[in-house]
Amino acid sequence: MSKILVYDLSLAALTEQVVSWGEPAFRAKQIWQGLYRHFYESPEQFSNLPKTLREKMSESLEFGGLEPTLKLDSSDGQTRKMLFRLHDDRQIEAVLMRYDKRRTLCISTQVGCAMGCTFCATGQMGFTRHLSSGEIVAQVLFYARLLAAEGSNVTNVVVMGMGEPFHNYDNTMEAMDRLNDAEGYNFGARRFTISTSGLVPAIRQFASEKRQFNLAVSLHAASNDLRESMMPVNKRYKIEELVQACRDYVAETGRRITFEWALIDGINDSPEVADRLAGLLKGLLCHVNAIPLNPTSGYKGRPTNPQRAQAFKAVLEQAGIPCTIRMRRGIDIQAGCGQLATVASLDVVKN
């Protein structure tokens, strides 16, 4: 019998498991707190539990799930990327970015991605499989342990690593809910940001479920022709339909939405494009996060230069749309947005 990954279990499921072993239900909560408050990663660490229970835990439950196989630190001194091996030998990546007081994690939800965005390394590698909720949770716990050892903690989590979180909707939401649980890790819902390439039905579902996680939408183009050439998802959900779903999300939740925009030289960075974008987003409670394109092996486009990026921002701001030009982080270790792909990271080691 293969073991169950302990991070795949909700508190209710863990309680059922513990009761099926003939143990009192309150033991489940003790295990829960050991996992999510003390970050225990093996049954032996649960010294508050009877030995017989710890034995049952080791027989039936898997406490690893992610085996770190490679650690890459950026020359900026602030960015670390880890490569993890999963139980089936597939690999994923998760990144820690240290800002002034913030400790932000960028985590993955799939091995690869099915959406095929041309400029993204994960899209270029294709789709292998969804991550389970526990495999998503385990990425956060890995860094929570690392930071706890230095007296620090995770302050923000962005679901912007490998994969399209809304293509793996249920597991992603379960993972976030588990980390949000007040009796466990108690990570504030508003400290999570989920980014989607624009799966309209999932955006509508997310709006109706009223979770407090922040939502970001990867837009990158303001016309269907251009967006379709960069993001195949636009063939299914056109820009007008996507922006309408975003407007409805804001109306329903009262929450601001973030639009992501990779600035690509000569492609989507002209003042005319910025003007068109401003028209599209007029009156919408939003913010545009623009980031000069990060290089990937399978895409020829070049990043916009800083002057041109500032001009793009100025057009939006004149139209009343707040825009930030984001710093590029961890480019040397291919830990920047859209650079996550296990094949690419192994190349870094070889070089």
Contact at 8 Å (CB) between 242 and 221?
no
125 touches ligand SAH by CB under 6 A: no
What character string, x for contact with ligand SF4 (CB under 6 A) and - otherwise, covers 94-113? Answer: -------------------x
Contact at 8 Å (CB) between 340 and 331?
no
Length of the chain counted residue by residue:
351
> Which residue in 115, 176, 246, 257 binds ligand SF4 (CB under 6 A)?
115
195 touches ligand SAH by CB under 6 A: yes
Beta partners for residue 70, in sequence order: 83
Contact at 8 Å (CB) between 162 and 93?
yes
Among ligand SF4, ligand SAH, none, the one that 337 touches (CB under a kind-dependent 5 to 8 A) is: ligand SAH
* Nearer residue to ligand SAH within complex by CB, 196 or 345: 196
For residue 307, give Cα distances in angstroms to 242, 313, 336: 30, 10, 21
337 touches ligand SAH by CB under 6 A: yes
Considering the complex, what minimum distance in angstroms separates the CB of residue 195 from ligand SF4?
7
Task: Specify whether 337 is catalytic.
Answer: yes
The single residue listed with the structure tokens 């970050």 is: 39
Considering the complex, what minimum distance in angstroms separates the CB of residue 314 from ligand SAH?
21
Task: Specify whether 93 is catalytic.
Answer: yes
> Which of these ranges, 143-151, 189-197, 203-211, 250-258, lies near ligand SAH under the rule CB under 6 A?
189-197
> Which of these ranges, 33-41, 185-193, 199-207, 289-297, lies near ligand SAH under the rule CB under 6 A?
289-297
124 touches ligand SAH by CB under 6 A: no
What character string, x for contact with ligand SAH (CB under 6 A) and - otherwise, covers 217-256? Answer: -x--------------------------------------
C-alpha span between 253 and 304 (Å, rounded): 34
> Which residue in 104, 196, 214, 345 binds ligand SAH (CB under 6 A)?
196
C-alpha span between 152 and 208 (Å, rounded): 35
What character string, x for contact with ligand SF4 (CB under 6 A) and - otherwise, covers 209-248? Answer: ---------x------------------------------
Among ligand SAH, ligand SF4, none, the one that 260 touches (CB under a kind-dependent 5 to 8 A) is: ligand SAH
Q: Which helix (H) or strand (E) holds 84?
A: strand 79-85
C-alpha span between 292 and 289 (Å, rounded): 10
For residue 122, give the nearest of 342, 319, 324, 289 by alpha carbon: 342
> Which residue in 180, 197, 253, 304 binds ligand SAH (CB under 6 A)?
197
Torsion sign (Cα): 126, 128, 132, 138 = negative
C-alpha span between 90 and 81 (Å, rounded): 17
C-alpha span between 201 and 189 (Å, rounded): 22
331 touches ligand SAH by CB under 6 A: no
Considering the complex, what minimum distance in angstroms separates the CB of residue 15 from ligand SAH?
33
- Residue 173 has which token pair? 């939401």
Per-state percent for the chain, helix, strand, coil, to nearest 5: 40, 20, 40
- DSSP class of residue 76 equals T
336 touches ligand SF4 by CB under 6 A: no
Q: 180 CB contacts (<8 Å, ≥6 apart)?
A: 186, 187, 188, 189, 192
> Which residue in 46, 84, 119, 237 binds ligand SAH (CB under 6 A)?
119
Among ligand SAH, ligand SF4, none, the one that 262 touches (CB under a kind-dependent 5 to 8 A) is: ligand SAH
338 touches ligand SF4 by CB under 6 A: yes
Residues at the interface with ligand SAH (CB under 6 A) = 119-120, 160, 164, 195-197, 218, 260, 262, 291, 293-294, 296, 337-338
